[in-house]
């Protein structure tokens, strides 16, 4: 196993649980709002699967050309991690923007700390990760409501000064 210090972004699509549990009724309007093909035989699970594919495309487009980043999607959520916190923060920002622009509302947790992953990865099963940063990122995501990212306070001090200035310039 490899153990190192880095940052983890845990992101979850809002409403998928309620959708798959039948708590939300969907109609042709929901499909057309996302430019999905509609058939009256489609269930909420068909709609959900299309949302998950859209989410996967966001994850791919946000990470494909980024070096030193790893991604693991688990249904309606994903872990993104690296030993470079600045990279993770930039990818997290990109994922959140692309998700909203694509009609997906997400909530995330962003933390730094211990990351543990296997030396070798069985690509048929996909990647996995554990460690303190993972636990903190998941906990942070679950602390609030709405589409936003909750950030571990200690992570901010680790970001490069130029990156922090860039974040504040975006707010104005």
Q: Is residue 81 exposed (0-12), middle (13-18) or buried (19+ Cβ within 10 Å)?
A: buried
Least confident of 16-25, 74-83, 113-122, 123-132: 123-132
Which of the four pLDDT bands, split at 50, 70 and 90, describes residue 83?
Answer: very high
pTM over 0.85, yes/no: yes
On whether the CB atoms of residues 98 and 56 are closer than 8 A, the answer is: no
Which of the four pLDDT bands, split at 50, 70 and 90, describes residue 162?
Answer: very low
Cα–Cα distance list, 169 to 91, 124, 164 (Å): 17, 42, 9
Average pLDDT over the chain reads: 90
Full set of structural domains in the chain with CATH:
2-171 (3.30.70.1230)
Q: Is residue 20 exposed (0-12), middle (13-18) or buried (19+ Cβ within 10 Å)?
A: middle
Q: CA-to-CA distance for 98 and 105, rounded, in angstroms?
A: 10
Higher pLDDT, 79 or 127: 79
What tokens were used for 83?
Answer: 């030993």
Q: Which long-range contacts does 140-147 make (Cβ < 8 Å, 24+ apart)? A: 140/10, 140/109, 140/110, 140/111, 141/10, 141/11, 141/12, 141/107, 141/108, 141/109, 142/109, 143/109, 144/107, 145/107, 146/14, 146/107, 147/14, 147/96, 147/100, 147/105, 147/106, 147/107
Q: CA-to-CA distance for 62 and 90, rounded, in angstroms?
A: 9
Residue 166 has pLDDT above 70, yes or no: no
Which of the four pLDDT bands, split at 50, 70 and 90, describes residue 125?
Answer: confident
Q: What is the 3-state secondary structure (H, E, C) of 96-119?
A: HHHHHHCCCCEEEEEEEEEEEECC
Instruction: Report the length, in residues, of the chain.
Output: 172
């Amino acid at each position: 196993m490899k153990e190192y210090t880095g940052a983890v972004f845990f992101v979850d699509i809002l409403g998928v649980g309620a959708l798959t549990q039948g708590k939300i009724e969907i109609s042709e309007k929901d499909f057309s709002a996302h430019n999905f093909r509609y058939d009256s035989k489609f269930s909420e699970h068909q709609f959900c699967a299309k949302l998950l594919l859209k989410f996967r495309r966001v994850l791919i487009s946000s990470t494909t050309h980024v070096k030193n980043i790893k991604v693991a999607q688990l249904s309606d959520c994903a872990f993104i991690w690296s030993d470079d916190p600045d990279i993770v923060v930039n990818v997290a920002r990109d994922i959140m923007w692309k998700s909203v622009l694509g009609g997906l509302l997400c909530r995330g947790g962003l933390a730094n700390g211990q990351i543990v992953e296997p030396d070798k990865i069985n690509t048929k099963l996909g990647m996995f990760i554990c460690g303190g940063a993972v636990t903190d990122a998941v906990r942070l995501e679950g602390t609030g409501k709405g589409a936003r990212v909750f950030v571990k306070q200690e992570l901010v001090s680790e970001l490069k000064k130029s990156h922090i200035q860039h974040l504040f310039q975006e707010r104005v």
